A and B are shown apart, each in its own frame.
Chain A
Amino acid sequence: MDFVEGAWVDIMAKSLLIDWTLCDGRGLCSELLPQIIGRDDWGYPLVRIPAGGERSSAVIKPEDFAAARDAVKLCPKLALRLLD
């Protein structure tokens, strides 16, 4: 049962992609998704659990979809995208 649940979550997960050339390190995303995104020495997003070593995007589970959508909308530099 657990295995089936885990697999279902993977299929459902989305990716939150960071465009580094637009990002200004304002930190709204890390406030909305504190378990998922931290900040580095200079305020830029630090993906806490990189999916497969990929640190330019964060894996977003269904329970965090709403917060991730807010992050995309509220980022002052429009530096985020949420993809399936």
Chain B
Amino acid sequence: MSGFSQGPSTTAQGAVIGSNRLLAAGSNATLFEHEQVYGSLSLSGIEVNFISVLERSGLTGRGGAAFASWRKFAAISPTAGLRAVRGKPVVIGNGAEGEPLSFKDKVLLEHAPHLVIDGLLVAARAISASSIFLYTSAALFPAVQSALAERTDASGVQLVEAADTFVSGQASAVVNAVAGGPAVPRGDRRRLSESGVNGRPTLVVNVETLAHAALIARYGAGWFRVMGTEQDPGTRLFSLSGWGEEQVLEVQGEARLGSVLERAGVDISAVQAVLVGGYHGRWVDSWDYRLSPKGSTDRSVRPGAGVLYVLPWGRCGVEATAQIVQYLAEQSAKQCGPCLFGLPSLAMVWDALARGEHDSGLVRESERLGSLLVGRGACHHPDGTVQLIDSALKIFAIDVEDHRGGLCRGRVGGHHG
């Protein structure tokens, strides 16, 4: 099981303090341990107040898109008349975590399921949902089921299995799966907040976002904002891999990348580059970046689903990228032409780049295919892939060149040039 840092979870005036918020109750926290640390949850007043508390908290989604959470909740609260026409709202906790480099949601569901369940109940009350689902992989069912069994307030929570695919966690794919269909994105452009599961207004929220919401419901917006910055308040979980044992870290908003790596025990001098955000993320090789969805791209790098993948010297970034592109091509839902044909074409180009083929047109072809794919498809799978390869062409430009001469700076362990 991935390790996570478990600092002393001191409570002051009933609220947890410091950045260890979500995993403060320890490993495999029972309901008793959960309530010892966090206090009990009261749902009274939630339906009236919570969305405005959420707005003041500044919480943004922790599943990758970083959309303002209060807006997603508010979009579901139609007038009573509209609700009668569209049906009662549905809330779905999204614990699919299809991103291979991400495991923080697994850790959360395994060790702090009660926080996630609290968040689901809060969300359901806030939007007057009459159906509550938790969508996650079968491996996590035992932990979640035993948590549900401990409670008397969560009998309505229904577990739905998420397929072990990359796109199974995409919001409209989640809705399709919960409705009994395949876990692939929808092609129509109806908002889920208007028409989701069986045409009902549906709120899909990442499980980590729900965990933060559960604490905001207890301690308020001001508490949430004690950590982080004005622009990027609160904390977020990161899955760190590629260096020693996998770790889950809870980090405050706008943290400096280099500081987070050092805190995790990474020897920065041995690091060639870091992939931030996962397979749809961005390679960076400078350590002053702020980890935040806000801020300009020269200062900040978007955390995405909270992924930090370390590429040490001695490994090849072009090869690593080519392998990811191959995986992304295979993981296409294969519903949309540009993705179905374009990603495998990109994978072939990157395979050739990795092998050092003597073709000066390869980089240009990668750029051409990239600009052909952006924005053309039912979801952002192509866009995310293009973001990855564009960042790889920048960061590993030297290696792309070297490969054609049969060399690889990455493998040899060159210096920061």
Q: Could you tell me if B378 and A42 are in contact, using CB atoms closer than 8 angstroms? A: no
**Complex Cα spacing A75 to B147, Å:** 51
- Specify the main secondary structure of chain B where it touches its partner: loop
Q: Could you tell me if B188 and A20 are in contact, using CB atoms closer than 8 angstroms? A: no
Interface hit among B228-236, B240-248, B319-327, B336-344: B336-344
Contacts across chains A and B counted by CB atoms under 8 Å = 54
Range for the number of chain B residues in contact with chain A: 10 to 19
B residues within 8 A CB of A67?
none
Q: Does B376 contact A (CB under 8 A)?
A: yes
Q: Does A6 contact B (CB under 8 A)?
A: no
Q: Does A76 contact B (CB under 8 A)?
A: no
Q: Does A36 contact B (CB under 8 A)?
A: no
Q: Does A24 contact B (CB under 8 A)?
A: yes
Q: Does B372 contact A (CB under 8 A)?
A: yes
CB distance from B55 to the nearest CB of A (A): 27
Q: Could you tell me if B378 and A20 are in contact, using CB atoms closer than 8 angstroms? A: yes
Q: Contact string, A9-50, partner B, CB cutoff 8 A, digits 1/0?
A: 000000001011111110000000000000011111010001
CB distance from A34 to the nearest CB of B (A): 19
Q: Could you tell me if A55 and B188 are in contact, using CB atoms closer than 8 angstroms? A: no
- Specify the main secondary structure of chain A where it touches its partner: loop
Q: Does B68 contact A (CB under 8 A)?
A: no
Extra contacts, 17 of them, besides A20-B376, A20-B377, A41-B341 (Cβ < 8 A), are A17-B189, A19-B188, A20-B187, A20-B338, A20-B378, A21-B378, A22-B187, A23-B337, A25-B337, A41-B342, A41-B345, A44-B341, A46-B372, A50-B375, A54-B375, A55-B375, A56-B375
Offer 13 A-B interface pairs, CB within 8 angstroms, sorted by A: A19-B378, A20-B187, A20-B335, A20-B338, A21-B335, A21-B336, A40-B337, A40-B372, A41-B341, A41-B345, A44-B338, A44-B341, A50-B375
